[in-house]
């Protein structure tokens, strides 16, 4: 439904830096709308770059920002790439972090978190979002989920063997864009972006390593919009 392509920064250039201004411009477009919106956000390096590139002076008190993904890392610390609080601080908007682990130790632990009333309210808000903006992670050996300590090497191997191609908000899908029904997907906190939403679901990702993940997410319409780089 919508696509922005940023010029590449040349060989060895940082794709995150290339797409950050275009991603920021797209978010600003929604933030400037008069009608109050619920804007749901993923996390990761691309979205953090988007926040850093946001124009100063935007006040968006009428909108609500909600996280799709848990904000607790495996060691109990706040997830480093969480963006909802950073954006909210910059644009003075009410915000709703997802107060659960990114990936829980067991499905039962994940269910216990999601049974809590405050969590249920944030989940409902995220599911009702008018706009979704997410990063797209690859599931190759340089998977962000592995690099950032959210999955083990053995878990990545298992999902790769099942055809894992990418992930959005921590939820892993195959090359056809179908979410896997095992592995960390049974323990992932937060809200899954369902395919074929009737509202904007925009992926923000660049660089050659992201191509299989982007293609799969577009194929099943987990994403119906894209901000990427020329490469």
pLDDT of residue 78: 73
Task: Note whether 26 and 228 are within 8 A (CB).
Answer: no
Strand partners, 73: none
Portion of the chain with pLDDT greater than 70, in percent: 98
> Average pLDDT, stretch 210-227?
97
Task: Note whether 204 and 4 are within 8 A (CB).
Answer: no
- The predicted-structure confidence for 40-81, as pLDDT tens digits, reads as follows 999 888 999 999 999 999 999 999 999 999 988 777 777 666
Whether pLDDT at 9 is above 80: no
Task: Note whether 136 and 112 are within 8 A (CB).
Answer: no
Whether pLDDT at 169 is above 90: yes
pLDDT of residue 50: 94
What span, in angstroms and rounded, lies between the C-alpha atoms of 32 and 147?
35
Whether pLDDT at 14 is above 80: no
pLDDT of residue 79: 66
pLDDT of residue 80: 63
Scanning the structure block, which residue is given the tokens 């679901």? Answer: 201
Strand partners, 201: 132
Residues in the chain: 231
Scanning the structure block, which residue is given the tokens 């190759």? Answer: 140
Reference 167, options 148, 192, 189, 149; nearest CA is 192
Angle at which helix 45-53 crosses helix 84-91, to 10 degrees, equals 10
Whether pLDDT at 114 is above 80: yes
pLDDT of residue 74: 75
Phi and psi for 224 in degrees, rounded to 5? -120, 10
pLDDT of residue 228: 96
> Average pLDDT, stretch 165-177?
96
Task: Note whether 88 and 63 are within 8 A (CB).
Answer: no
Full-model pTM: 0.93
199, exposed or middle or buried, with CB in 10 Å at 0-12, 13-18, 19+? middle
Whether pLDDT at 27 is above 80: yes
């Amino acid at each position: 439904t919508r696509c922005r392509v940023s010029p590449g920064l040349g060989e060895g250039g940082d794709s995150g830096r290339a797409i950050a201004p275009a991603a920021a411009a797209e978010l600003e477009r929604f933030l400037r709308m008069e009608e109050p919106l619920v804007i749901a956000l993923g996390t990761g390096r691309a979205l953090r770059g988007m926040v850093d590139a946001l124009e100063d002076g935007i006040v968006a008190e009428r909108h609500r920002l909600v996280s799709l993904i848990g904000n607790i890392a495996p060691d109990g610390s706040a997830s480093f790439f969480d963006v909802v609080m950073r954006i909210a601080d910059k644009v003075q908007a009410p915000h709703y972090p997802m107060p659960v682990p990114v990936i829980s130790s067991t499905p039962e632990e994940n269910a216990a978190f999601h049974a809590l009333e405050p969590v249920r309210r944030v989940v409902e808000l995220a599911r009702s979002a008018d706009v979704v903006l997410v990063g797209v992670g690859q599931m190759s050996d340089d998977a962000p989920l592995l690099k950032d300590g959210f999955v083990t090497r053995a878990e990545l191997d298992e999902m790769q063997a099942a055809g894992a191609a990418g992930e959005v908000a921590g939820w892993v899908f195959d090359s056809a864009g179908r979410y896997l029904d095992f592995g960390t997907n049974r323990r992932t906190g937060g809200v899954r972006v369902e395919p074929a939403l009737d509202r904007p679901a925009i992926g923000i990702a660049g660089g050659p390593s992201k191509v299989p993940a982007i293609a799969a997410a577009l194929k099943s319409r987990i994403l119906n919009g894209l901000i990427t780089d020329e490469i």
